[in-house]
Structures are given as structure tokens and as C-alpha cells.
Amino acid sequence: MGEGRDRRVTRCSCRVRAPEEIFRSLLLPRYREAQLGHFAQQIANAVRRWLAEPKDGLFISGPAGTGKTYMACAIVRAVLEAGKPVTFVRCADFYAEIRRTFSIGSEVTEGDVENRYANAPLLVLDDLAAGSLSDHERRCTLNLLDVRWNHLRPTVVTSNLALTEIGTAMDERISSRLRCFVPIVLGGRDRRGR
């Protein structure tokens, strides 16, 4: 921090991160250019309306390759450009972080990891139900969504599965919480093949 002549404290320019630097640190390289404007206007407008007043959550589903992760990253960009905090994590990385806490000598606990994501003002949780769907993954997902839902913290979730499939494959309680989210269903051909 530096001081101006009028004795106000101002942030030193050497400590301010440029928006593109923040995008690079948060987003996967392939998705750093993602923007809501890259989607059909109707879908982009629905997401913008939700972002203007985020409630419970936004559930983005659709077959593989339809742009769910791309949209999640576009949401992260939009939130950061609005100057608000957001946390992005792939479900596989969330589960891996928790598994690492079980290592001998780990100073980070399972609760530490869960709390970091549970307390984020806005969480983007990418690729739900893509893993092994173990009891551990089910429990961690339910705990995370339950805490966020009960504390009115908005969450964006992407998944290849529809809500009924999540209820069957993971847990009906997870599906029940996601039913409170605004649904966005992406369709069409696999974009990766183009």
C-alpha cells in the first residue's frame, strides 16, 4: 500500500493484478477466452438474468461437448469483470484435494477444504457426476451443496447428467437440492468435433 499526499491509503499499482492475469490464474487454458456472448442470445440472457440476482444456483446440463465447461468459465469471466469474487473448481479436483488431506503429515483437514468451497461467495462446480461416484464423492458433494444451500450461497453446477440421472447415479438428496437451481440445458452436436 502507498500513501498519497492527502493521507489516504491507496493500493500500490505493483500489487494490483490485471483482469487477464486473474483469468489466467483461475481458468483452464482452453477456456480463458470464454464469454457469454459466444452463446445463443436467449441462453446468454438467461445466465445474465441469474447473475444479476443469483439465487440458490444455476444447473447447466447437456451431453458431452455441448459447452458446459465453456459456459462455466464464461460465467467466471463475467463475475470477475463485474468485480465480484468467484471460485471455480472441477469436481475431480475437489475430491482429490479432500483425498490428499488423508495423507500422513497433511496439515490441511478435510474440513478445511470443504469450508473453503462451502464459504465461497459464488462457487462454480464443474463436471458433477463424472467421477467414480464413490460413497466418498457422494458424501462430499452432498455436504458441500447442503451447506451452500442452507446458507444461501449461490452455486453454479455443470453435469453431463440430467437431474433424474443424478438422483439415480449419486443421491436423490443431491438431485433434490439441484432442483431448486435455475436449469440451463445445452444441446446440439459435440463442439469438440468441429
Closest CA to 133 of 193, 79, 91: 91
Strand partners, 58: 156, 182
Give how far Cα 172 sits from Cα of 47, 70, 92, 159, Å: 26, 27, 20, 15
| Overall average pLDDT of the 111-127 stretch | 95
Amino acid 180 reads C
Q: What angle do CA 59, 63, 69 make, to 5 degrees?
A: 55
pTM across the whole model: 0.84
Q: pLDDT tens for residues 34-93?
A: 899 999 999 999 999 999 999 999 999 999 889 999 999 999 999 988 989 999 999 999
* pLDDT of residue 9 exceeding 60: no
Q: pLDDT category, 193, cuts 50, 70, 90?
A: low
Parallel, antiparallel or unpaired: strands 2-3 and 9-10: antiparallel
The CATH class of 17-188 is: alpha beta
* 11-35 pLDDT tens trace: 344 444 556 676 667 777 888 888 9
User: Region 92-103: what's the mean pLDDT?
Assistant: 92
Q: Where are the domains of the chain?
A: 17-188
Helix axes 110-118, 91-100, angle to 10 degrees: 150
Residue 144, pLDDT score = 96
Residue-wise pLDDT tens digits, 129-155: 887 788 889 999 999 999 999 999 999
